[in-house]
Structure 1
Amino acid sequence: MNQSFYNGIAGTKSHQSGIDIWGNNIANVNTVGYKANTPEFSTIFSQALVDGGGATSDEIGFGSQLHSTAIDMSQGTVQQSDNPLDLAIQGDGWFGVSGMNNRQFFTRSGLFSTNAEGYITDGQGNFLLGTSANNIGTMVDPEDPNKQIAVLNESVTSVNLSSPEAQGKLQLPARMYYPPEPSTVAEFKANLPVDYLPGQRYNVRAGLIAPDGTKHTLTVTFTKSAQQPALGSAWEYRAYIDDEAAPYSEVTGTLEFDEQGGLRTVPATFTIDNYGQPVEVTLGTSRYDGLVSIAGADIATSANADGFPEGYLNGYRIDQEANIVASFNNGRLSAIGKVAVFHFQNDQGLEKAGSNIYMSSPNSGAPTFFTDEEGNTVLGAQVINNALENSNVDLTTALTELIVMQKAFDANAKSITTSDQMIQKAINMKK
């Protein structure tokens, strides 16, 4: 009878824990990034009733207890959002956030925004961790000399994560300036008309960017020469910057084409001064890859030059490799940082610090990064921008388990009452 008391008490305690765990899962069914918990039970002690001679034995338990709470690491559904800083991890991994006293936590919730200082934070004010590209400086604001503005010092396409312990806070400037990139090369392609008479002109133009960011026009005028060779054709060219009558700079020369219409002398190049920046102009590097003069050929005229005007920040996005990419109104893009995705040898060893936030422990091991065979850091998962991972709680399963736990709790409570009644009857019989 005493044993039935102990079994009943242990059962009520165990199933009360189960009720709490499944009830908490249900309460967090709409919590972003929440991972469901599953209670796991074990027996306390066992007593042998019949010795089977070493081969078998009959045992009776002394109740159960909550042994551990497992984390369900299955993927939650991914839902699109309107916030460009919302992130979802498709696959294995955790975001890292830094709280008070630089204490590090880990979460699957990608519900992020920026605070007043431009740092990326979660809903509790914890700072998102990652690696900065260190390519942002400051300068006097071109639009307001009394203020400072962030300036992009170097454009990069991707950022490589530093070591896990070196991850820091990620800051996004609200305003950022992209300095102009002056033009250094220009390339022209065209089919100069074979049927033009001497003196007739053919123009091609390309836009150039000066070192101060201003836009200018490079025009190359081709004039069919008065003196033509016996085979092929000859053209004179004049290249000038901006005004035809009073150009900033100009270059002249002569081109000859053979009887097939290809350039006789290659490469055909020259250099022109674009307001202090030399620009190398290419008219052809082989007989047919630049200017030609071929009768009846359908060859489109093209003029290309590098360089970009100055620009200002349009906004941010985060690509699948977790690079934070800044876009500018001059059409340029640059990565300025990378969001870290941490991994653990044993995810089940993480200690819960909130509904969707965890801490590392000796059982989980230290946070690490995945690397490829060459030692380069890889995410090991896909990061989805403008999206959130929903809770992975299956509401049907959670409600069913809650009912099972409640019924088991009631049965154990009833066993305590029954044991008490049996003891009372035994006492009365002795009297």
Structure 2
Amino acid sequence: MIQAFYTGVSGIKTHQYGIDIIADNLSNISTNGFRSSNAEFSSLFQENISTDAQLSSVDSNIGLGSKLNAVTMNQNIGVYQLTERSTDLAIMGDGWFAIQGQGEPLYTRDGAFTFNANRELVTDDGYYVLGTIGNNIEDGVLVETLAEIPLGDAKSQQKLSLPQELQVAVQPTTEVKFYANIGLEDTVRVMSGKAIDPQNNNNAIRLEFSKADPQVSPGTQWNVVATAQSNNLVTVVNSETQAITYEPETIYDTQTGVVAFDEAGQLISNSLPAIDNNGASVVVNLGTGYDGVISINDTIRASSESNGKEAGELVGYDINRNGEVVAAFTNGVQSSVATLAIYHFINDGGLEKVSGTRFAESSNSGKAIFFQDPDGSNIKGVDITNYKLEGSNVEIETALTELIVMQRSYDANSKSITTAHEMLQKALDMDAK
């Protein structure tokens, strides 16, 4: 009977722990990135009854009391939920985000991040998100456009603090390609294309075609004059006639050449050299064959395309599906400037629980590491998606079932104490008689 008391009391205490753990799981069913816990029990002592274990397949051990042996992490992935922020991230598989306050880094699956007023990527309660900042920013200027930033060493990750003011340098035009039909008639044809100079001025490359004299058959030959000029036009008013004309403010360079077409109208030669656009050499690309400038008896038309970008100011930062922090500028340029770190552990279940969504490295989990590709470069090793958050991994139907089991076990242990008490009372009454 004393054993019954002991077993019942320890069972009540143990299953109360289990009920508390399940209650905590249920209370966090709506917590993003929550990892539920499982209670594991074991016997305090065991008594071996007198049977020969070698001759019997029946377990001859009787447990005496119970204890909470361990509280383990449920490593199942929660349900992914759509959000409206590009900075909300979810890990599509194994891995952990790293965040840091005043102490050592913590690890979480909750990817509800945002940029604060200082352009730092943080959690909602102010913990800094860790990652690798690229080397493509110098003195507030983006010096290189990158699609991704390589992960640094696992121990050297830092908080993602980005410049509040950032510019992308001008990319001067190096080539202007023209598409046109200048026809067959002996008349002057004029066209122009956009060209950006190193001073961020939006200039024009102006072409003027006139038929060469004499013509050499077969085909046709045209003289071409190329002019690099500013687009800042000034108004000139003739004082006598009051006529208004517009003239370019500045001419930077003029080049001449000859283009030749065969009898079918396709371009076969071009001697026009590159032109100086206020300090930048620009190739005037007239194409070859029918891809570019042609001379046929058809509708007169002209268009052009050019490379280069004007300087741009920072619009803001975003995070893409690969966990890259992308800077967007007013001129349309986008570039990765940082990347989030995704850590892995040899034993995720060994992480020390700090809260329902945050864990710390422990001796059981092993050191936080990065995966590596065959070349030895650090990689995330898992896909990341934005505009999504991973919800809690608590399954309400499972948790409620476990709660019922725990309550029944609690009641059974309580009943065993009551029964033992009644038996002891009867034994005392018999002794009294």
1:162 aligns with 2:152: yes
Partner of residue 197 from structure 1, selected from 174, 178, 185: 185
Equivalences for 1:15-414 in 2 at 5 Å?
A: 15-52=15-52, 54-56=54-56, 57-101=59-103, 103-138=104-139, 150-193=140-183, 196-198=184-186, 200-242=187-229, 247-265=251-269, 270-284=273-287, 286-294=288-296, 301-414=302-415
Do the aligned residues in 1 keep the contact of 2:86 with 2:320 (CA within 8 Å)? Answer: no
Per the alignment, do residues 130 and 299 of structure 1 end up closer, same or farther by CA in structure 2, a change over 3 Å counting?
farther
Quickly say closer, same or farther: Cα 1:43–1:203, change in 2 above 3 A. farther
2:74 corresponds to which letter in structure 1? Answer: D
CA distance in 2, matches of 1:115, 1:254: 59
Q: Could you tell me whether the CA contact under 8 Å between 1:9 and 1:413 is conserved in 2?
A: yes
Amino acid at match of 1:91: G
2:239 alignment counterpart:
none
- 1:301–1:14 distance in 2 versus 1, CA, 3 Å: farther
Flag structure 1 segments of 5+ consecutive residues without an equivalent.
139-149
Equivalent residue letter for 2:408: K
Aligned to 1:14: 14
- Counterpart of 1:197, as a letter, is E
Question: How many Å separate the matches in 2 of 1:7 and 1:280?
Answer: 91
TM-score by length of 1: 0.89
Residues 177, 311 of structure 1: 8 Å contact kept: yes
Secondary structure of the structure 2 residue equivalent to 1:326: strand
> What is the CA–CA distance in structure 2 between the aligned matches of 1:53 and 1:40, rounded to whole Å?
26
Query: What SS does structure 1 have at the residue aligned with 2:173?
Result: coil
* 1:307 aligned counterpart, secondary structure: coil
Q: Percent identity?
A: 38
CA shift, 1:249, in A, is 1.8
| Deviates further, 353-362 or 178-187 | 178-187
Q: 1:399 to 1:265 in 2, by over 3 A?
A: same
Query: CA offset at residue 269 of structure 1?
Result: 5.1
SS of corresponding position for 1:290: strand
**Contact conserved, 1:269 with 1:280, CA < 8 A, in 2?**
no
Report the Cα offset of residue 191 of structure 1: 3.6
Alpha-carbon contact 2:325-2:337 (below 8 Å) kept: yes
Aligned to 2:49, the other structure's residue is in SS state: strand
Return 323-332 or 213-222, whichever deviates more.
213-222
Quote how far apart the aligned CAs of 1:364 are: 0.9
In structure 2, list runs of 5 or more residues that go unmatched: 231-246
TM-score, normalised to structure 2's length?
Answer: 0.89
Looking at structure 2, the residues matched to 17 and 53 of structure 1 have their Cα atoms a distance apart, in angstroms, of 34
Residue in 1 that maps onto 2:237: none
- 1:378 is displaced (CA, Å) by 2.4
Note closer, same or farther for the CA distance 1:68–1:229 as it changes in structure 2 (3 Å cut).
Answer: same
CA shift, 1:205, in A, is: 2.3
CA contact (8 A) 1:25 1:393 kept: yes
Distance 2:272 2:253 in 1: 16
- Aligned alpha-carbon RMSD (Å): 2.2
- Counterpart CA distance in 1 for 2:82 and 2:137 is 30
May I ask how many residue pairs the two structures share in their alignment?
Answer: 413
